[in-house]
Structure 1
Amino acid sequence: MVTQIIQSATGFLMYFTVAFVISPMMTVLALLGAG
């Protein structure tokens, strides 16, 4: 039970980190492409 919760939390944190890192990168790339 605890292991399942930890795995869920880890997966959520990984997903959140990826989204948090990729969003600004995509925005910067879009601005550079437009500029």
Structure 2
Amino acid sequence: MTCGEDGFTNSIFIIFFRFIICFYDLSKIQNLNYKESYF
């Protein structure tokens, strides 16, 4: 792997990782709201 390819995969991984964290936080908030409103 060249430096360019390594940097490219690293940036994609960071974006993907941030997306997973954001999605997990949003789903956690939605689950809390769902439980509070229905139970």
Where on the TM-score scale, by shorter chain, does this alignment land: which range? Answer: 0.7 to 0.9
Mind listing any 5+ residue stretches in structure 2 that lack a counterpart?
A: none
> How much identity, in percent, do the aligned residues show?
6
Paired residue total:
35
Q: Following superposition, which runs of at least 4 residues in structure 1 exceed 3 angstroms of deviation?
A: none
Quick check: which has more Rg, 1 or 2?
2
Q: Calculate the aligned-residue CA RMSD, in Å.
A: 1.2
Mind listing any 5+ residue stretches in structure 1 that lack a counterpart?
A: none
Q: Are 2:36 and 1:29 aligned?
A: no
